[in-house]
Amino acid sequence: MKKTPLFVAIEGVSNVAQKALSDELEVYFAVELGLAAVAVKEPSDGIIGHRIRKIIDGKLPAPKTNYEFRRLCVEDRLEHIKTCIRPHILLGNCVLSVGYWLSTLAHGMLDGSLEQCLQLHREIIGEEMIFPHLSIILDAPEDSNYIRLAEAKCFGNIHVINFDGVSWEEVLSSAIAAIKPLL
């Protein structure tokens, strides 16, 4: 088994499914593998993350453009990396993130270019960026930007799981099968 703690991002269109898989994997890491794991989420619990959640919930006005909103998401990611993700990895904990950079890229591609989203990451996060060892994309429609990112094969190790005709146990087994070679 590897000594380096794993960083797994769980992405997709359903936050409920992402959270459920994160919870299951956290138990799997602890009980089956004896590894410390921590589940985190984006938007984070930091100052910027709270602002993003209030915008999403309609309690604060949205930025004038989607680009400004994506910028907030990337600024939140930098804060999240510095205050949560990196410290946990340095402590030896595996990190399971509900939502991460592929979500920002996929949403950014709805009304902007992929390059514009990547440039935001380079400008704001730069060398501080931590790329996941594995990104699991849950239940993304065939014609979605999530699938386009996975098919591009240049955004890291991506495993896609679709729910069509599949039980939750099969979803969990598929995620575990994608993780095992990384251990």
pLDDT of residue 149: 92
Q: Give a yes or no: residue 44 inside a domain.
A: yes
Q: Give a yes or no: residue 51 inside a domain.
A: yes
Q: Give a yes or no: residue 1 inside a domain.
A: no
The answer to whether residues 94 and 37 touch, using CB atoms and an 8 Å cutoff, is: yes
Q: What is the pTM of this model?
A: 0.93
What's the structural domain count of the chain?
A: 1
Residue 113 neighbours by CB distance under 10 Å:
10
Q: Give a yes or no: residue 171 inside a domain.
A: yes
pLDDT of residue 1: 55
Residue 93 neighbours by CB distance under 10 Å:
18
What is the rounded distance in angstroms from the CA atom of residue 171 to the CA atom of residue 74?
29
**Structural domain for 36, as ranges:** 7-182
% of the chain at pLDDT higher than 90: 80
Residue 71 neighbours by CB distance under 10 Å:
17
Q: Which residues of the chain have pLDDT under 70?
A: 1-3
Q: Give a yes or no: residue 99 inside a domain.
A: yes
Q: Give a yes or no: residue 90 inside a domain.
A: yes
What is the rounded distance in angstroms from the CA atom of residue 50 to the CA atom of residue 29?
28
Distances (CA, A) of 56 to 10, 42, 110, 142, 171: 20, 12, 17, 26, 28
Q: Give a yes or no: residue 2 inside a domain.
A: no
Q: Give a yes or no: residue 86 inside a domain.
A: yes
CB-based contacts of 44, cutoff 8 Å, min separation 6: 76, 77, 79, 80, 83, 84
Four-residue CA torsion sign, 153, 72, 143, 22? positive
What CATH number does residue 76 fall under? 3.40.50.300
Q: At what angle do helices 66-80 and 114-124 cross, to 10 degrees?
A: 40
